[in-house]
Structure 1
Amino acid sequence: MRVGIFGGGQLAQMLVQAAISLGVEVVICERTPDSPAARYTQHAVVGPWEDEAVLAGFARQCDLVTLENEFIDAGLLERVVALGAPVWPTPATVAVVQDKLWQKERLAAAGLAVPPFRPVAGPDEVLAVAQEFGWPLVLKARRNGYDGYGNATLRGPADVVPAWERLTRGGSPLLVEAWVPFSRELAVMVARRRDGATAVYPVVETVQQNHICHVVYAPAPVEPAMAALATELAVAAIEAVEGVGIFGVELFALADGRVLINELAPRPHNSGHYTIEACVTSQFEQHLRAVLGWPLGPTTMRAPAAVMVNLLGQRNGPIDTSAITAALAVPGAHMHFYGKREERVGRKMGHITALADTLAEAEAIARRAAALVAMPS
């Protein structure tokens, strides 16, 4: 069995690592050579994804294809299907999820709780929506935004034009959402097979740093009723988009007990990295099981608590694995370094997971190790 993966970053890298344990071969399709994932497999196709010869060469080597991010245009995925390689999640699902307006419309049509939203065609329409929703607002690129790069918080009329000009440079249309005064940000990983069977991971709390996931607490320190509501919403969301594979569902928890869906990711997700050590089945293995139609694995945690801390770049420049040497001496800290050649400010360079009896104990271990990671000049 040979699975193709569009993209060669750290998510594809960890999918390859899981595939090795399952005896599954992987083909990486990436625009540039020497990607983190391609170093783990003998099979790689390098070139522009829009090139028909690249797509044909990729499809020819694969029994099925999946993806490590939602930025591969659904039209390209449809071409891969036409070339004889099924794609999971399907191009139709990816088309809905990769456009944040279509995603919100699909979830709202299914009766699921989402923040109020509107498509907008110009700054004047944003100002009109402000009359309805009030300030602040969140302006979003409908496509290709991640880690806060496609978002802008609008606190008043003066913010509208500068944010509009910045976000429309990439060519994506925009939408606007009401500001949500959340008390916590939650996330749930949901795996779903083609036959509708699902496996759900514990609800986690995520803490952002400059709009990038920085810390994940598993399980989230919330009341059981809120965790149950978040889980119910997450499963219903993936069913609404007819998802196949692993999906990350980001949610807002409100002080009054309500939970709203923020966004979906049709792939392994940063909030699920803790599952590698903390759960019986990692999100990466689970994704492969789901797209292959194999039995889904248990999602039970191996310890009462786990905390994951992302290692985010602090500067711009080259880096090597010596950066993690000191951190490896911390007992109980599980290190993942992605092998990226260049560090950039805010770039995800790796992560550390720690397991313990309490969240406080796990966090102390993970943060101690993270503090010892040196990004040498």
Structure 2
Amino acid sequence: MRVGIFGGGQLAQMLVQAAISLGVEIVICERVPDSPAARYTQHTVVGPWEDEAVLAAFARRCDVVTLENEFIDAHLLRRVEELGTPVWPSPATVAVVQDKLWQKERLVVAGLAVPPFRAVDGPDDVLAAAQAFGWPLVLKTRRNGYDGYGNATLRGPADVVPAWERLTRGGSPLLVEAWVPFTRELAVMVARRRDGTTAVYPVVETVQQNHICHVVYAPAAIAPDTAITATELAVAAIQAVDGVGIFGVELFALADGHVLINELAPRPHNSGHYTIEACATSQFEQHLRAVLGWPLGATTMRAPAAVMVNLLGQRNAPINTDAIVAALDVPGAHMHFYGKRDERVGRKMGHVTALGATLRDAEAIARRAAGLVAMPV
């Protein structure tokens, strides 16, 4: 059985690692030859995804195709299907999710709670939205935004034009959302098979700085009713987009107990990395099970608590290959280094996960190890 993956970054790399245990071969399709995932499989197709010959060669080598990010245009995924290879999540699902406006419109039609939003075609539309929503606002690219690339917080009229000019350089249309006065940012990983069977992981809390995830606490220290609401919203959201595979659902918890959906990701997600060590089935193995139509695995945690800390680049330079050596001396710290050739400020270079009897215990271990890495957080 061969699963093809569009993209060769760290998410694809960790999918390769999970595939080995299942006896599944992975084919990586990437634009460049030296990707982190491609180094761990003998099956690669290199070239522009828009090239018909590349798509045909990739489709021929795979039994099923999936993706590690939502940046590949849905019409290219449809072309792979036309060539006879199934794609999960489906091109129709990806088309909805990869456009944040369409994504939110679909969730609203399903009756699910999201922040107020609207499409905007120019700075004047943003100012009009401010009349309806108030300041601050969040201006977003509808496509291809991640880790803060594609977002801008607008605190007043003077911020509108500079943010508009910056965000439209990539060519994506924009949308604007009301600022949500959340008390916590939550996330839920949901796996869904083609027959609608789902497996749901615990609700976690994510700590973001500059729109980049720094720390994940599993499970989130929230009221049981809030956890139930977040879980039900997450499952309903994936059903609404007819998702197949693993999906990350980002949510906002409000002071009054309400929960809003922020965004969906149709792939393994940073907030689910803790599952590799902390859960009976990792998000990566679960994704492979789901897209292959195999039974989904248990999502129970192996310890009462787990904390994941991202290792983010602190400079722009070639990577220090010995960066994690000192951290390996910390008992209970599980290190993951992604094998990227170059460090960049804010770039996700790896992560460390620790398990414990409490979140405080797990966090102490994870932060101690992260502090010994050559790019301390």
Same fold at TM > 0.5: yes
Q: What's the CA shift for 1:129?
A: 1.0
**What SS class does the counterpart of residue 271 from structure 1 fall into?**
helix
2:260 and 2:188 mapped to 1: Cα distance?
A: 13
Map 1:130-169 → 2, pairs under 5 A: 130-169=130-169
Letter in 2 for 1:210: N
Count of residue pairs brought into register by the alignment: 376
Q: Is residue 265 from structure 1 mapped to residue 265 from structure 2 by the alignment?
A: yes
- Residue-by-residue CA offset, 1:62-119 (whole Å, 9 max, x unaligned): 0010000000000110011111111000000000000000000000000000000000
**What SS class does the counterpart of residue 295 from structure 1 fall into?**
coil
Q: Is the 8 A contact 1:319 1:375 kept in 2?
A: no
Q: Is the 8 A contact 1:321 1:337 kept in 2?
A: no
User: What is the identity percentage for the equivalent residue pairs of Structure 1 and Structure 2?
Assistant: 88
Q: What's the CA shift for 1:228?
A: 0.4
Map 1:1-377 → 2, pairs under 5 A: 1-375=1-375
2:318 and 2:148 mapped to 1: Cα distance?
A: 24
2:96 and 2:210 mapped to 1: Cα distance?
A: 27
**What SS class does the counterpart of residue 366 from structure 2 fall into?**
helix
1:34 and 1:232 mapped to 2: Cα distance?
A: 41
- Residue-by-residue CA offset, 1:241-287 (whole Å, 9 max, x unaligned): 00000000000000000000000000000000000000000000000
Q: What's the CA shift for 1:375?
A: 4.2
**What SS class does the counterpart of residue 322 from structure 2 fall into?**
helix
Letter in 1 for 2:309: V
- Residue-by-residue CA offset, 1:168-224 (whole Å, 9 max, x unaligned): 110001000000000000000000000000000000000012211110000000000
1:319 and 1:132 mapped to 2: Cα distance?
A: 47
Q: RMSD in angstroms over aligned alpha carbons?
A: 0.8
- Residue-by-residue CA offset, 1:154-177 (whole Å, 9 max, x unaligned): 111111111111111100010000
Letter in 1 for 2:214: H
Q: Is the 8 A contact 2:312 2:346 kept in 1?
A: yes
Q: Tell me which stretches of 4 or more aligned residues in structure 1 moved more than 4 Å.
A: none
TM-score using structure 1 length: 0.99
- Residue-by-residue CA offset, 1:42-76 (whole Å, 9 max, x unaligned): 00000000000000000000001000000000011
Q: Is the 8 A contact 2:311 2:375 kept in 1?
A: no
For structure 1, the 5+ residue unaligned runs are none
Q: Is the 8 A contact 1:320 1:339 kept in 2?
A: no
Q: What's the CA shift for 1:120?
A: 0.6
2:322 and 2:125 mapped to 1: Cα distance?
A: 52
Q: Is the 8 A contact 2:204 2:220 kept in 1?
A: yes
Q: Is the 8 A contact 1:246 1:267 kept in 2?
A: yes
Letter in 2 for 1:341: R
Letter in 2 for 1:122: G
Q: What's the CA shift for 1:320?
A: 3.8
1:252 and 1:355 mapped to 2: Cα distance?
A: 25
Q: Is the 8 A contact 2:106 2:240 kept in 1?
A: yes
Letter in 1 for 2:115: P
* Segment drifting more, 161-170 vs 241-250: 161-170
2:210 and 2:312 mapped to 1: Cα distance?
A: 11
Letter in 2 for 1:212: I
TM-score using structure 2 length: 0.99
1:274 and 1:178 mapped to 2: Cα distance?
A: 31
**What SS class does the counterpart of residue 323 from structure 2 fall into?**
helix
Q: Is the 8 A contact 1:289 1:295 kept in 2?
A: yes
1:375 and 1:133 mapped to 2: Cα distance?
A: 40
Q: What's the CA shift for 1:362?
A: 0.2
Q: Is the 8 A contact 1:184 1:252 kept in 2?
A: yes
- Residue-by-residue CA offset, 1:3-49 (whole Å, 9 max, x unaligned): 00000000000000000000000000000011000011000000000
2:47 and 2:60 mapped to 1: Cα distance?
A: 15
2:182 and 2:200 mapped to 1: Cα distance?
A: 23
1:210 and 1:153 mapped to 2: Cα distance?
A: 10
Letter in 2 for 1:269: H
2:163 and 2:17 mapped to 1: Cα distance?
A: 40
1:281 and 1:366 mapped to 2: Cα distance?
A: 21
For structure 2, the 5+ residue unaligned runs are none
1:95 and 1:121 mapped to 2: Cα distance?
A: 20
Letter in 2 for 1:342: D
